[in-house]
Amino acid sequence: MSSPVQPVFRFAPSPNGALHLGHAYAAIVNHRMAREMGAKFLLRIEDIDRVRCTPLLEEQMLDDLSWLGIDWDEEPRRQSDHFGDYESALSVLVDAELVYPAFLSRREIRQCIDHKQAQGSHWPCDPDGSPHYPGDERNWTKIDLQEACHSQPIHSLRLNMSKAIAHVGRPLVFDETGRGPNGETGKQEANSRQWGDVVIARSDTPTSYHLSAVVDDALQGITHVVRGSDLFHATSVHRVLQDLLGFPTPTYYHHQLVLDSHGRKLSKSAGDTSLRALRLAGVTAHDVIRMIGLDTGERQP
């Protein structure tokens, strides 16, 4: 008889600013769920943005988490130590010809879309608000792309989403045990088509959030992804990448977000709700748990 496999959870913050009440909520919900299930709880430091993520912010982040009472079971995995893993995954997508070099800079993308909108056309956006890529490199021949690579800077590598969906060739699903932003729960069909050709790697970073999250979830054996409902739609991209890369699919639990008094998601620049500022003002971890509406006992929220 095989022994039951221990579930594995992960909390994956980015040290690109001070942690705030929203992170406290996310970390505590995740940690409590893992501990109640007898699961392993891993910490992953998502620091691929080498400009905004700094060692000092990472140190403060770990300190804030410990102060909140969060503990983790292994040495944290720092993404910037593993760029080689993302490059290997990227090469699988490149070899399958599902990725293309994009030559438009951010500014050129904006100008191109402004021009189209001025002519009255509605331009689609990804669920995270980024406009779909307006360039047409996805339709260029291999020879044209090769020539362009020699004469122009490549700004990013993008997933050809339509081709990727065709390559997958069947509907993809995932189990939502929490709730998406519109109350989505239960078995979900991935809606990958709502995304354009997402960035998979940039000229200055050999990966992207989507690629590295999917690779790490697989390499770390993550069985349960717990995160904010703002990332619910990203799961549709993650399902495509998991399928293309031959990775298993974790179970997902998307939780509500902590909002400010205007109903907006807290941002890392919201100094007054940073855990550091609250600590300095004498607030205790227990107070924080109460402030974010979680049970101060040990029962599941």
Q: Is 58 in the site for ligand GLU (CB under 6 A)?
A: no
What is residue 282's three-state secondary structure? coil
Residues 6+ apart with CB under 8 A from 250: 217, 222, 223, 224, 225
Q: Which C-beta is closer to ligand GLU: that of 80 or that of 116?
A: 80
Q: Is 46 in the site for ligand GLU (CB under 6 A)?
A: yes
34 binds ligand GLU (CB under 6 A): no
- Where helices occur in the chain by DSSP H, the ranges are 21-36, 55-68, 83-95, 106-118, 142-151, 161-168, 209-219, 234-245, 275-280, 285-291
Q: Is 13 in the site for ligand GLU (CB under 6 A)?
A: yes
Reduced to 3 states (helix: H, G, I; strand: E, B; else coil), residue 54 is: coil
Of 43, 213, 241, 289, the residue at the interface with ligand GLU (CB under 6 A) is: 213
Among 7, 8, 9, 12, binds ligand GLU (CB under 6 A): 12
Q: In this structure, how many other beta carbons lie within 10 angstroms of the beta carbon of residue 104?
A: 18
CB of residue 16 to ligand GLU, shortest distance in Å: 8
Contact region with ligand GLU (CB under 6 A), list: 10-18, 91-99, 147-155, 185-193: 10-18
Question: In the complex with ligand GLU, which residue's Cβ is closer, 155 or 233?
Answer: 233
CB of 251 to ligand GLU, least distance (A): 14
142 CA to centre of own chain: 31
Cα–Cα distances in Å, from 275 out to 17, 49, 195, 281?
Answer: 11, 22, 34, 10
Separation CA 94–CA 195 (nearest Å): 19
Q: Which of 158, 227, 233, 268 binds ligand GLU (CB under 6 A)?
A: 227
Q: Interface with ligand GLU includes 216 (CB under 6 A)?
A: no
Distance in Å, CB of 166 to ligand GLU, minimum:
26
Beta-bridge partners for 94: none
Q: Which residues contact 32 (CB under 8 A, 6 or more apart)?
A: 298, 300, 301
Of 77 and 227, nearer to ligand GLU (C-beta) is 227
Q: Which stretch binds ligand GLU (CB under 6 A): 12-20, 66-74, 88-96, 132-140?
A: 12-20
**Alpha carbon distance 254, 230 (integer Å):** 8
Q: C-beta of 67: minimal distance to ligand GLU in Å?
A: 18
Which residues of this protein are in contact with ligand GLU, per CB under 6 A? 12-14, 46, 213, 227, 231
